[in-house]
Structure 1
């Protein structure tokens, strides 16, 4: 028997309040479903960012009325908005009535290949998986590449980048009638093969999902469509994602790798250099964590995630991108500029550097 009856009573009341809160959350989700249905019938998008800002601001005002920390209200409402977006996206996907297509996933045991298989199957398509590493549970599988090439209208290529050239050569010889769609993070290593495939009469386009295989909600996610010059193939593949909240950004395959040199290569590189400097410092991660600032916590959290990724994939992103030398030069020049400004007795150079950074990010507002 508890010796703390008062504490037990207080905790029991808290559990009752928690239950009432979750009952109200359930009621809110049911209302969000009705809102989502109305949006679908009236051709409105799932996300309304202006309304979301108003809802979050209202939560802060209510918190102030009750002398609560405004960030508490924002975090609670942000979670509720996430739940509402999820159910509204599900409504939209259930109502999709596009034509059912036969889609082959080549490399379906990989993380992104498996994501594509699950996503396309959930949209009602007939998915066939081929992977030399084995079967993907829950799907139709075949060990015969020729079967996929012969039967499928769309061939999604999710094999390792190191195998890309051999794959394109095999496919070019087979001359499949389906659209070939790769998911590679870089396009430079396969540009020649893409051109040869097109010259052989094959239909080719290229995708790059800018999200990970664990994503569930597609709102705020971006899919790059790197056009290879076949407009019909581009539109046909983009239609696989019609009716979702996914944002599709189109560029040429040539433009793709220069952009990836910065958003992938440079951002990864900064984190690897940050981690390497820490490892060389002689101080342990535990010791630094005890005195961590807000900026350090944010940076180290990102660097820690990057350090745990597939090293061969991240090596390929740096090594195989023909724009990497340009990015390395920018990095070295910027580090030299920073060092000169930080060691100068005159603070104006450092102020100018900071102001240039602010102006860069202010452009997107």
Structure 2
């Protein structure tokens, strides 16, 4: 019988080889995406994904590997490949090449996501946030210090201060596209209206995902139509090369639907905790089992 350490050393070698194969697969995926872009094909091919997964299950049985394990592994690899391809496609589009963007509140989680997303398109980024600088980007502690001569201004601040900020922006009439990232729009009515009345290029955006999201396939980005078609088209264009579902709706419709989405999740939590409280079960014991 071979010593345990020798067997573990062999596992380490195999793990390294697996990662080398994954890297090779990712590189090949990037080449495939370049061909797709050149021939006008979409990034995702669900039929092809199905073929890969079915073949993986068959091959796994032949090799004595659990088919479910093989499918899980291949799904992860496909997702990684799609993420790489989507990011390459966004970068290749170069929508921000030669253009500048200001992200107010860019130190926050969604602000940082948006800053990185815009930078990947070639935008020259400035972050305005009193919380501090973000490595790799120009920084202002106070957005009022900016000349506001950017091609794009994103308001990614907490909702409680966003409306006042939009009103202040309207007073200075920036020339570039302006949009917020708020999850609710009614609290921003005054600020959005002020920008519209000031003749600014304004719309409103709601990314329906969190800041840890890498792959936008299956995700939704909502664009609120404020009556400025050019602004709406520009904002949508920023996401055109992704696989996200782009949805346009009116402000009132947005908040009504989002109220249902948020309300249902809260209702489920309330129902769960009510049932737990009335069950008489000891929470510490349940926690150990969860």
Report the TM-score when normalising by structure 2.
Answer: 0.88
Give the match for residue 87 of structure 2.
90
Work out whether 1:169 is the aligned partner of 2:173.
no
Task: Report whether the alignment pairs 1:105 with 2:98.
Answer: no
User: Counterpart in 2 of 1:241?
Assistant: 239
Equivalence for 1:38: 35
Matches within 5 A, 1:141-152: 141-148=139-146, 150-152=148-150
Question: Contact 2:165–2:191 at 8 Å: present in 1 too?
Answer: no
Relative to structure 1, the CA distance from residue 19 to residue 39 in structure 2 (aligned partners, 3 Å threshold; closer, same or farther) is same
Deviations 1:146-177 (A, max 9, x none): 44363122211111111133223222222222
Q: CA deviation at 1:291?
A: 5.8
The structural deviation recorded for 1:272 is 4.2
Gaps of 5+ in 2: none
Bigger helix share: 1
Please name the residue that 1:7 is paired with.
4
Count of equivalent residues: 289
The higher radius of gyration belongs to 1
Map Cα deviations across residues 77-133 of structure 1 (whole Å, 9 max, x no partner).
112212221332233233223343221111122111121112212221122222233
The two structures, once aligned, show a CA RMSD in angstroms of 2.5
CA contact (8 A) 2:131 2:141 kept: no
For 1:290 and 1:114, locate their aligned partners in 2 and report how far apart those are by CA, in whole Å: 36
Q: Give the conservation status (yes or no) of the 8 Å contact 1:127–1:139.
A: yes
Given that 2:223 and 2:248 are in contact with CA atoms closer than 8 Å, whether structure 1 keeps it comes out as yes
- Contact in 1 for aligned 2:89/2:242 (Cα 8 Å): yes
- Cα offset, 1:207, TM superposition: 0.5
CA separation in 2, counterparts of 1:143 and 1:220? Answer: 36
Sort the Cα spacing of 1:108 and 1:31 in 2 relative to 1 into closer, same or farther, 3 A. closer
1:70 aligns with 2:70: no
| SS of residue matched to 2:195 | helix
* Greater Cα shift, 126-135 or 256-265: 126-135
Q: Report the Cα distance in structure 2 between the residues aligned to 1:220 and 1:227, rounded to whole angstroms.
A: 22
Report the Cα distance in structure 2 between the residues aligned to 1:13 and 1:175, rounded to whole angstroms: 65
Number of the residue aligned with 1:123: 121
Contact 2:164 2:191 in 1 (8 A): no
Deviation at 1:136, TM superposition (A): 3.1
Between 55-64 and 277-286, the greater mean CA deviation after superposition: 277-286
Unaligned runs of 5+ in 1: 293-365
Q: Which residue of 2 aligns with 1:27?
A: 24
- Residue 51 (1) aligns with residue 48 (2): yes
The whole-number CA distance in structure 2 between the counterparts of 1:102 and 1:87 is 25
Q: Equivalent residue for 2:184?
A: 186
Counterpart Cα distance in 2 of 1:24 and 1:144: 47
Which structure 1 residue ranges, 4+ long, deviate > 6 Å from structure 2? none
Structure 2 residue 230 is the aligned partner of structure 1 residue 227? no
CA distance in 2, matches of 1:204, 1:86: 30
Give the conservation status (yes or no) of the 8 Å contact 1:104–1:128: yes
- In 2: Cα distance, 1:196 partner to 1:94 partner: 34
2:60–2:70 contact (8 Å) kept in structure 1:
yes
